[in-house]
């Protein structure tokens, strides 16, 4: 009898181990389990990309549900998040022939920085949810791709780790203002000392959006966010709403002036969704405008970023550069955003998906895919370089529901 009980107990242990392997590996052996049970990839390989949507579904298979839903999710019904991609169908690109275009050139520059394509990394929190290398891995991939890495205050890597991984490649620091002026000054000074080339002041998150996926998952950050000032409290084990609540919650033009007073670096104001706010930011001293609705993660029921890009660009009237994000998934999206008035675009989720699947090499694969796709669109549209795209007029698709 004792022998039978022992055998059954041993079998139970074996089944438990198998379940844990299947639960945490999720079909991928490249991962590590942290002390709190969270699993992150350690993959280090090139990633074959057919489509960014396909990349997302593959990343979902290896990122734990809570982490994936935090990365992927939007606010409330996620209607605005969905519109971010759908809005690109409001306009068409005229195919052009007999233009003599051969091997289009995707190189451009922003704020005096030369980049290999008009796509940079958007500042997104907690890349460590996807891969053990976190933002340091993303930075290495961005550097190898010849583009700019933007690092969030809410990164899983320290600013120093990201700078070291970039090995001198251009990087920008995205600042969530603290209620502590000394902490703000120290963060900006640290970024300057580490060689960051610009400060991104995000102004569209005085409070967290109603992110229902996170609420259902009771999602809390399983890893610390080491750049957040200590006076703001512990970040590990906190949700994004609590972290936003500990930061500054009342933005005004003075805040742009305040950040400008703390640094000689260019200050980019991120989160602009209305022409009047673009005007206010420029008058307050913004060196660039970042058109974004935070990837549809803040105010659901707001327009897609692309829907407002044209009117904001018209108001800005080339006084400062325009960066654009929210919904970029294809070469045609990049093309349309630039034709509508952006100087460069930024991607967040695709970078994290590539990181999860291949580490820094996966990030390079994402940029290689977008560069090749953009070049193909440019070739078929008769645009030799990025300046040509800026001079192209898009066709409004008047048979769609978007037209009046």
- Phi-psi sector, 54: left (phi>0), alpha (psi -120 to 50), beta: alpha
Q: Contact at 8 Å (CB) between 156 and 128?
A: yes
> What is the second-level CATH architecture of the domain 68-396?
Alpha-Beta Barrel (3.20)
Digit-coded pLDDT (tens) for 97-148 = 999 999 999 999 999 999 999 999 999 999 999 999 999 999 999 999 999 9
H helix count then E strand count, the chain = 15, 14
Q: What angle do CA 149, 154, 160 make, to 5 degrees?
A: 55
The length of the chain, given as a count of residues? 404
Closest CA to 70 of 202, 215, 174, 193: 215
C-alpha 261/C-alpha 285 separation (Å) is 10
What pLDDT, on a 0 to 100 scale, did the predictor assign at position 119? 98
C-alpha 94/C-alpha 378 separation (Å) is 11
SS3 percent helix, strand, coil of the chain, rounded to 5, is 45, 15, 40
Q: Which of 127, 131, 294, 333 is catalytic?
A: 294
Neighbours of 302 (CB within 10 A): 21
What pLDDT, on a 0 to 100 scale, did the predictor assign at position 214? 95
C-alpha 119/C-alpha 295 separation (Å) is 16
Digit-coded pLDDT (tens) for 79-108 = 999 999 999 999 999 999 999 999 999 999
What pLDDT, on a 0 to 100 scale, did the predictor assign at position 401? 53
274 is an active site residue = no
Which residues of the chain fall short of a pLDDT of 70? Answer: 1-30, 35, 231-233, 398-404
Q: Contact at 8 Å (CB) between 58 and 148?
A: no
C-alpha 344/C-alpha 166 separation (Å) is 20
C-alpha 237/C-alpha 226 separation (Å) is 13
Pairing of strands 31-33, 267-272: unpaired
Check residue 122 and report its DSSP letter: P
Give pTM, 2 decimals. 0.90
Digit-coded pLDDT (tens) for 292-318 = 999 999 999 999 999 999 999 999 999
What pLDDT, on a 0 to 100 scale, did the predictor assign at position 13? 57
Q: What percent of the chain has pLDDT over 70?
A: 90
């Amino acid at each position: 009898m004792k022998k039978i009980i022992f055998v059954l107990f041993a079998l139970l242990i074996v089944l438990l181990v198998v379940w844990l392997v299947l639960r945490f590996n999720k079909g991928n052996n490249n991962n590590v389990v942290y002390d709190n049970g969270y699993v992150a990839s350690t993959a280090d390989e090139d990633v074959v990309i057919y489509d960014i949507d396909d990349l997302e579904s593959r990343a979902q298979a290896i990122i734990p549900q809570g982490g994936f839903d935090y990365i992927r999710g939007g606010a409330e019904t996620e209607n605005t998040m969905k519109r971010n991609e759908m809005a690109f169908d409001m306009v068409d690109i005229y195919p052009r022939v007999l233009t003599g275009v051969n091997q289009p050139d995707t190189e451009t520059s922003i704020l005096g920085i030369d980049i290999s394509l008009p796509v940079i990394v958007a500042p997104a929190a907690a890349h460590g949810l996807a891969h053990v290398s976190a933002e340091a891995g993303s930075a290495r991939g961005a550097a190898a791709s010849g583009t700019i890495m933007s690092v969030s205050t809410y990164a899983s890597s320290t600013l120093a780790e990201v700078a070291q991984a970039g090995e001198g490649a251009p990087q920008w620091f995205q600042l969530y203002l603290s209620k502590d002026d000394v902490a703000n000054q120290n963060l900006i000074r640290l970024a300057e000392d580490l060689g960051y080339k610009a400060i991104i002041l995000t102004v569209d998150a005085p409070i967290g959006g109603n992110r229902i996926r996170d609420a259902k998952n009771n999602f809390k950050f399983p890893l610390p966010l080491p750049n957040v000032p200590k006076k703001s409290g512990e970040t590990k084990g906190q949700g994004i709403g609590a972290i936003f609540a500990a930061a500054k919650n009342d933005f005004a033009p003075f805040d742009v002036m305040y950040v400008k007073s703390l640094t000689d670096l260019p200050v980019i104001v991120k989160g602009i969704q209305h022409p009047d706010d673009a005007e206010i930011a420029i008058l307050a001293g913004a060196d660039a405008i970042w058109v974004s609705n935070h990837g549809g993660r803040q105010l659901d029921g707001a327009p897609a970023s692309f829907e407002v890009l044209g009117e904001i660009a018209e108001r800005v009237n080339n006084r400062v550069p325009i960066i654009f994000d929210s919904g970029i998934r294809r070469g045609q999206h990049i093309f349309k955003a630039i034709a509508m008035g952006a100087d460069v675009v930024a991607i967040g989720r695709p970078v994290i998906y590539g990181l999860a699947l291949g580490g820094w090499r996966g990030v390079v694969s994402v940029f290689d895919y977008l560069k090749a796709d953009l070049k193909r669109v440019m070739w078929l549209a008769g645009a030799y370089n990025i300046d040509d795209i800026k001079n192209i007029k898009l066709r409004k698709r008047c048979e769609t529901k978007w037209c009046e």
